[in-house]
Amino acid sequence: MAEGRDGAVVAMAVLGLLMVSLQCDVAQAASYPVGDAKGWSMNVNGWEKGKTFKVGDTLVFNYAKGAHNVVVVTKAGFDACKAAPSDKVYISGKDQINLVNGTNYFICTLPGHCASMKIQVTAS
């Protein structure tokens, strides 16, 4: 009977360590308001320069609903300022997007906006 309890104690200890490890990873994630106080707006290009981003960090796109959108695009879409039908479009005005490993590309697809409303963020 003691062997069964010992195994259960070891299993609980391992589970506890895993939970602490997961909480540490979550605690390390940061949140970045895109454009800082200005928000996701015209002339936001370059906002990301000089910042270090990690996988799981959150970009917060604040803008007046209906005035802009945020579209997660590929590099080709970023370069061409064009979204594909399968690209995820955000329109809430308070969009929160978690970064994935590698370069993440974001544009506004409203007419005339993309040239000064696109950022590329590399997370590792």
Q: What pLDDT does 106 receive?
A: 98
CATH superfamily of 29-123: Cupredoxins -  blue copper proteins (2.60.40.420)
Q: What pLDDT does 18 receive?
A: 43
Closest CA to 99 of 66, 63, 51: 51
Report, as ranges of residue numbers, the positions in the chain whose pLDDT lies below 70: 1-27
Q: What pLDDT does 65 receive?
A: 97
Q: How far apart are CA 99 and CA 68, in angstroms?
A: 20
